[in-house]
Amino acid sequence: MAGSSEEAPDYGRGVVIMDDWPGYDLNLFTYPQHYYGDLEYVLIPHGIIVDRIERLAKDIMKDIGYSDIMVLCVLKGGYKFCADLVEHLKNISRNSDRFVSMKVDFIRLKSYRNDQSMGEMQIIGGDDLSTLAGKNVLIVEDVVGTGRTMKALLSNIEKYKPNMVKVASLLVKRTPRSDGFRPDSHMRHQ
């Protein structure tokens, strides 16, 4: 199964941001005027995010072996991250000796109703998941919190017998309720 449920001491596949990190002074950056007075600091500069997404794309291509990829973007939060990641994946494909075909599909996950866990997850949208059989699947999510929803999605997808499933997340939230799930590629808030 994709990702890992173990606490890995090696953070080589992610950027770690400690809880006591004070962030960068706002005077170091330009930002939209409508945010003036609302922000205290910059936690992760845009350039670091862009560079990290490019590195994630390289890691994904290495892991998948320059094979065709079915990308499942988890909406709504994952859209911009997914678009940027796919663009980097396409650039790598264009500059390699093997064309990598990518198809992107969009899903929404519903596991809560009125702030209460429903116990099971509902997948909304997307093509018929049976088309994932034998494919290399990349799930792209903006933030992994406890990991429970992602584990439920992975369990659901594994029923369709894909060749490989990888999870890329922009951020992993450290929370005491975490079940220890970690995506294959991510930044990490510690």
Q: Say if 124 falls within a structural domain.
A: yes
Q: Say if 35 falls within a structural domain.
A: no
Domain count, the chain: 1
pLDDT given at position 188: 42
pLDDT given at position 6: 45
CA–CA distance, 69 with 121 (Å, rounded to integer):
24
Q: Order the strands of the 69-75 sheet from edge to edge.
A: 116-124, 102-113, 69-75, 136-144, 164-172, 185-186
pLDDT given at position 113: 60
pLDDT given at position 33: 94
Q: Say if 103 falls within a structural domain.
A: yes
User: What predicted TM-score, i.e. pTM, was given to this entire model?
Assistant: 0.81
Q: Say if 114 falls within a structural domain.
A: yes
pLDDT given at position 1: 44
Q: Say if 185 falls within a structural domain.
A: yes
Q: Say if 30 falls within a structural domain.
A: no
Residue 85, domain CATH? 3.40.50.2020
The answer to whether 186 and 13 have CB atoms below 8 angstroms apart is: yes
Alpha helices in 37-78 (DSSP H): 46-64
Q: Say if 95 falls within a structural domain.
A: yes
Q: Quick one: what percent of the chain has pLDDT higher than 70?
A: 80
The answer to whether 153 and 109 have CB atoms below 8 angstroms apart is: yes
For residue 169, what are the contacts with CB-CB under 8 A and spacing of at least 6?
Answer: 140, 141, 142, 143, 144, 183, 185, 186, 187
- Counting as low any pLDDT under 70, the low residues of the chain are 1-13, 111-119, 176, 178-190
CA–CA distance, 54 with 50 (Å, rounded to integer):
6
Residue count of the chain? 190
One-letter amino acid at 69 equals: I
Q: Say if 12 falls within a structural domain.
A: no
pLDDT given at position 190: 33
Domain encompassing residue 107: 44-135+163-189
One-letter amino acid at 22 equals: P
